[in-house]
Amino acid sequence: MKSQDIRSQFLSFFEDKKHSIVPSAPMVLKDDPTLMFVNSGMAPFKEYFLGNAVPKNSRITDTQKCLRVSGKHNDLEEVGYDTYHHTLFEMLGNWSFGDYFKKEAIAWAWELLVDVYGIDKDILYVTVFEGSDDDNLPMDTEAYDLWKQFISEDRILKGNKKDNFWEMGDQGPCGPCSEIHVDIRSAEEKAKISGKDLVNQDHPQVVEIWNLVFMQYNRKANGSLESLPDKHIDTGMGFERLCMVLQGVQSNYDTDVFTPIIREIETITDKKYGKEEKIDVAIRVIADHVRAVAFSIADGQLPSNTGAGYVIRRILRRAVRYGFTFLDKKEPFIYRLVDVLSEKMGRAFPEMKAQKQLVENVIKEEEQSFLRTLDQGLVLLNRIVEETKGDTVSGEKAFELYDTYGFPIDLTALILSEKGLKLDEKGFNEELQKQKKRSRAASEMSRDDWTVLVDDAEEEFVGYDSLEANVKITRYRKV
């Protein structure tokens, strides 16, 4: 099944259950200072959960662009090294705002996965919240009893607060959750293991795909929980992971969400994916990062020197560095991937088609400017190496490379290690802390980096809408 069909089948399943389909909100919510990027499907609906706004329909379904590169949910270091954490990913969701609760959410999730998508129920596991003394919360026996109707009890695992109590950030709506995991290990591999290891959730091929959050509480600034006025359902399923399961592959990068991008990288760089781990990591990182950067720009968040814009710039530089070091690409090429991205995703996300030219121009410009400093930085780095007496380069020197030439610290460390030198990371971090203090003041102005882009496709652009109250969904279009 093609990824496009997987996405639309999810949405129409919930539409049939009386949900309204809404488009993804932009990844930066202009007026939510608690969150740098939307990191889950629920973020744009926060005001509904808090009872500060009332939605037109108490049931909603969507696919939300999420970015997990900062704050409480930061997966950046995983990306490229594992096969199922991305910076940008789509989160498919169904929502009940004070309408249905656990019973329907669990039954429908099961119906969709097993009856509609046809996933073998014998590869599914679910988890429920075991309770927490910290917050004086009991085990979620209600969810446990509901799951028992569908799945044998040895496949219902109890999980702690870390895994089974969902919180968007340090504050805000939250609640116990049930996760659905899929074991995609081959039969031969499973035959080799038994007992506890069979339900080992840390195995890279036992992957969480869907989280059903039972939203009942609000975490206040002082850390305490208060009950929400109504109970809500917030679910989030990783679209790329679902595609991996339904397309019968072992990695998100082997789904049709990523393969067209990877093929294009292979063509441009004349390297092959699947032959050498270092090159594979670099290709995965670039295929992932281009999506994060491109969608961010299409949403109006341009790379810059502060706040969210700086995070985007760093992600792009990280990608450029991988291309430069491992794929031997010394000239801009990441911008050339935008074409295939817009081709493959433009239907579901028209903003990518509409802003394609701008996205390409901005990425090309950014690549060019970093490649310029990358070269100059290398000249300086060589000089530093020549002048270094011992075996360690000072944190200050590394910081100069980072600060003046935009050199990521890991690139500096890598090049130094190739030359048999070490890096004083502690000294570097001290310099970084000093700089962070300086930029914290500046980040207050980061909202200036936001540029509102007007959609070309007028018939699909309904305008900026504050809904009944202050919910920041600024675009409306047909999905």
Region 398-427 residues binding Mg ion, contact defined as CB under 5 A: none
DSSP 111: I
255 binds, among ligand ATP, Mg ion, none (CB under 5 to 8 A by kind): none
Task: Tell me the residue nearest to ligand ATP as measured from the CB.
Answer: 238
**Least distance in Å: CB of 349 to ligand ATP?**
16
87, 94, 211, 446: which one contacts Mg ion (CB under 5 A)?
A: 211
Give the nearest distance from C-beta 249 to ligand ATP in angstroms: 15
Q: Cβ of residue 161: shortest distance to ligand ATP, in angstroms?
A: 12
From residue 103, give the alpha-carbon distance in Å to each of 93, 145, 148, 415.
16, 10, 12, 56
Contact 439, 313 (CB under 8 A): no
Yes or no: say if 408 and 314 are a contact pair by the CB < 8 Å rule: yes
- The nearer residue to Mg ion, 77 or 456, going by C-beta atoms, is 77
How many residues bind to Mg ion according to rule CB under 5 A? 3
Residue 240 contact among Mg ion, ligand ATP, none, beta carbon within 5 to 8 Å by kind: ligand ATP
Q: Any contact of residue 164 with Mg ion (CB under 5 A)?
A: no
Nearer to ligand ATP, 206 or 409 (CB): 206
The reply to whether 342 sits near Mg ion by the rule CB under 5 A is no
Nearer to ligand ATP, 237 or 302 (CB): 237
Structure tokens at 403: 């600060």
Of 167 and 179, which CB lies nearer to Mg ion in the complex structure? 179
Residue 28 near residue 66 (C-beta atoms within 8 A)? no
Q: Phi/psi at 235 (nearest 5 deg)?
A: -115, 150
Terminal-to-terminal C-alpha distance of the chain: 19
- Residues forming contacts to ligand ATP in the complex (CB under 6 A) are 40, 68, 75, 85-86, 89, 91, 208-211, 236-238, 240-241
Question: What residues from 165 to 204 belong to the interface with Mg ion (CB under 5 A)?
Answer: 179
Extract the runs of DSSP E, i.e. beta strands, from 73-205.
73-74, 88-97, 124-129, 156-159, 165-167, 172-183
Spatial contact of 411 and 321, defined as CB atoms under 8 Å apart = yes
Q: How far is the CB of 97 from ligand ATP (least distance, A)?
A: 19
Q: Tokens 């969902």 sit at which residue? A: 166
CA 97 remoteness from chain centre: 24
255 is an interface residue for Mg ion by CB under 5 A: no
Do you know the residue count of the chain?
479
Residues that bind Mg ion (CB under 5 A): 179, 208, 211
